[in-house]
Amino acid sequence: MQGFGVHTSMWTMNWDRAGAEKAIAAAVSYKMDFIEIALLNAPAVDAPHTRGLLEKHNLPAVCSLGLPEHAWASVRPEAAIEHLKVAIDKTADMGALALSGVIFGGIGERTGVPPTEKEYDNIARALTAAAKHAKSRSIELGVEAVNRYENHLINTARQAVEMIERVGADNIFVHLDTYHMNIEEKGAATGILDARAHLKYIHLSESDRGTPGYGNVPWDEIYTALAAIGFKGGLAMESFINMPAEVAYGLAVWRPVARNEAEVMGNGLPFLRNKAKQYGLI
Catalytic, out of 109, 150, 206, 238: 238
Closest to 169 measured CA to CA, from 126, 121, 122:
126
**pLDDT at residue 240 in the model:** 83
pLDDT of residue 156: 98
Q: Classify residue 63: in a domain, yes or no.
A: yes
CA distance linking residue 123 with residue 125, whole number of Å: 5
Q: According to the model, what pLDDT value does residue 250 have?
A: 80
List, run by run, the mean pLDDT of 10-residue segments along the chain (282 residues).
93 94 97 97 97 98 97 98 98 98 96 97 98 98 97 98 98 98 95 98 96 96 98 95 75 82 93 97 94
Residue 163 and residue 120 in contact, taking contact as beta carbons nearer than 8 Å: yes
Residue tagged active-site, from 36, 144, 150, 184: 144
Vertex 99: Cα angle to 10 and 133 (nearest 5): 160
Query: Nearest Cα to 102, choosing from 39, 42, 14?
Result: 39
Q: What is the pLDDT of residue 19?
A: 96
pLDDT of res. 249: 80
What is the C-alpha separation between 110 and 119, in angstroms, rounded? 12
pLDDT at residue number 248: 80
Q: Which amino acid is at 187?
A: G
Say whether 144 is catalytic: yes
Q: Establish whether 238 is a catalytic residue.
A: yes
In a domain, 282, yes or no: no
101 membership: H or E segment, kind and range: strand 98-102
3-state secondary structure at position 200? strand
Can you give the pTM of this predicted structure? 0.96
Q: What is the Cα–Cα distance from 242 to 19, expressed in whole angstroms?
A: 13
- Residue 177 to residue 58: CA distance in whole angstroms: 26
Does 159 fall in a domain? Answer: yes
- The span from the CA of 185 to the CA of 187, in Å, is 5
Q: Please report whether residue 129 resides in a domain.
A: yes
CATH code of the domain containing 217: 3.20.20.150
pLDDT, position 169? 98
Q: For 149, how many CA atoms within 13 A lie in the half-sphere containing its CB?
A: 10
Residue 144: predicted pLDDT? 98
Among 125, 130, 136, which residue's Cα sits nearest to residue 86? 130
| Total domains, the chain | 1
- Give residue 33's domain range: 1-277
